[in-house]
Structure 1
Amino acid sequence: MPTVLLDDLADVRAGDKGDALMLAVFPRDPADVDLLTSRLTEEVVARHFGTAVTGPVTRTVLPRLPALVFAIPGVLAGGVTGSTVLDGHGKTLSYHLLTVELTI
């Protein structure tokens, strides 16, 4: 099956809510929102971030924007005020999500 990188289809913005990384995925072409909705699932994102995820990944689809918002618990290792990592907000982790390969 052919694959495509998420980076070829979308942009990602990152934020944080405590220990949870929040990633908003915005398709560059609104025609790709159905592909992203069907292929970029909670399971795909959880698997991509691996053992850093400490609970269920949740996804909210915002069709009127269009966007998909993921909450990924645990990957910020304590959050902005509790983590000793340099990227407590998780901004660089948005680039990690862009390396997901999606089947098309």
Structure 2
Amino acid sequence: MTDTVFTVPLYRLAHGRTGDKGNRSNISVIAWHPALWDVLLQQVTEQAVARQFALRRPSRVTRYLLPELRAMNFVLDGVLDGGVNDALNLDSHGKALSFLLLDLPVQVPAALAQHLAGPP
């Protein structure tokens, strides 16, 4: 018998911090609880993030792991319409993009529900 699995947005498992430099966005994902780290490792991959940002057309997505902190950092190249100084769209700044990543659907075993942030 398998454990029940449900889908929630990433913000239920982790919080984020974002910055930008030029045409590059830097997004950190930090687990709310250490028990959620393996789920993040398995599902919040470079490929999943590239799919989530497909409309922004990143030229490259690189994931850096910080396991002692239960965190990961993503560097997304080419997602800021040329950068803050070149973009006419203020919403393209890197600080606004963490919300897009934190909306990524993640499948979570019911046994880990107690560690999720937000309502049950």
**TM-score where L is the length of structure 1:** 0.89
- The residue that corresponds to 1:26 in the other structure is 30
Distance 1:2 1:65 in 2: 25
Distance 2:43 2:58 in 1: 22
The reply to whether residue 9 of structure 1 matches residue 13 of structure 2 is yes
Quick check: 2:14–2:30 contact (8 Å CA) kept in 1? Answer: yes
In the TM superposition, what are the counterparts of 1:1-104 in structure 2 within 5 Å?
A: 2-104=6-108
Aligned length: 104
Distance 2:17 2:34 in 1: 17
Larger CA Rg, structure 1 vs 2: 2
Q: Which has the higher helix share?
A: 2
Distance 2:27 2:57 in 1: 14
The ranges of structure 1 where at least 4 consecutive aligned residues each deviate by more than 4 angstroms after the TM superposition are none
Residue 13 of structure 1 and its aligned partner are, at CA, apart by 0.7
> What runs of 5+ residues in structure 1 fail to find an aligned partner?
none
> What runs of 5+ residues in structure 2 fail to find an aligned partner?
109-120
Quick check: 2:60–2:78 contact (8 Å CA) kept in 1? Answer: no
1:20-78 Cα shifts (integer Å, max 9, x gaps): 11100011111111110111000100001113223121100011222110011111111
**TM-score where L is the length of structure 2:** 0.79
Q: What value does the CA root-mean-square deviation take over the aligned residues? A: 1.5
